[in-house]
Chains A and B, each alone.
Chain A
Amino acid sequence: MLTYNLRLAFKSLRRTPGIAALMIGAIGLGVGVCITTLTVWRLMSANPIIHRNDVLYSVTLDNWDPNNPMYARSPHLPPPQVTYRDAMAMYASDIPTRKVAMRKSSFVLDPGQAQGMKPYQVITRLTNTDFFPMFDVPFLFGAPWSTDADEGAQQVVVLSKETNTKVFGGQDSVGRTIQLDGQDYKVVGVLDEWAPTPKFYDVTNGAFEEPEDLYLPFSVGIRLEMPSTGNTNCWRNQTLNTWQEFLQSDCVWIQYWVELPNRERVEQYQNFIDNYVREQKRLGRFERPLNNHLRRPDEWMRVNEVVRDDNRVLVGLSFMFLAVCLLNMVGLLLTKFLGGAPIVGLRRALGASRGEIFKQHMVEVGVIGIGGGLLGIVIAALGLFAVRNLHDNYDALTRLDVPMGLIALAIAIASGVLAGVYPTWRVCRTQPATYLKTQ
Chain B
Amino acid sequence: MLHMQSISKVYRTDLIETHALREFSLHVREGEFVAVTGPSGSGKTTFLNIAGLLETFDTGTYKLDESDVSGLSDDARSRIRNQKIGFIFQSFNLIPDLDVFDNVDVPLRYRGMDASERKRRITEALELVGLASRMKHIPAQLSGGQQQRVAIARALAGSPRFLLADEPTGNLDSLMARQVVDLLEDINRRGTTIVMVTHDPELARRAHRNVHVMDGQVTDMQPFTAKPLVAASAVG
Contacts and interface: CB of A to CB of B under 8 A. Distances in A.
Note whether A and B form a binding pair: yes
A433 B55 contact: yes
A404 interface: no
A347 B91 contact: no
Contacts of A438: 91
A408 B90 CA distance: 48
B74 interface: yes
A257 to B, nearest CB: 66
B59 to A, nearest CB: 19
B81 interface: yes
Given A346-B95, A350-B82, A431 B55 contact: yes
A351 B93 contact: no
A176 interface: no
A262 interface: no
B53 to A, nearest CB: 9
Interface in A328-380: 343, 346-356
Interface in B44-95: 45, 49, 52, 54-55, 74-75, 78-79, 81-83, 87, 89-91, 93, 95
Interface in A405-439: 431-433, 436-439
B208 to A, nearest CB: 25
A350 B45 contact: no
A4 interface: yes
Contacts of B135: none
B125 to A, nearest CB: 14
A351 B54 contact: no
A351 B81 contact: yes
B99 to A, nearest CB: 11
A121 B87 CA distance: 84
Given A352-B82, A352-B110, A353-B74, 17 more contacts: A1-B109, A11-B97, A15-B97, A343-B95, A347-B106, A348-B54, A349-B54, A349-B81, A350-B82, A350-B87, A350-B107, A354-B74, A354-B75, A431-B55, A436-B166, A437-B166, A438-B91
Interface of B: 45, 49, 52, 54-55, 74-75, 78-79, 81-83, 87, 89-91, 93, 95, 97-98, 106-107, 109-111, 154, 158, 166
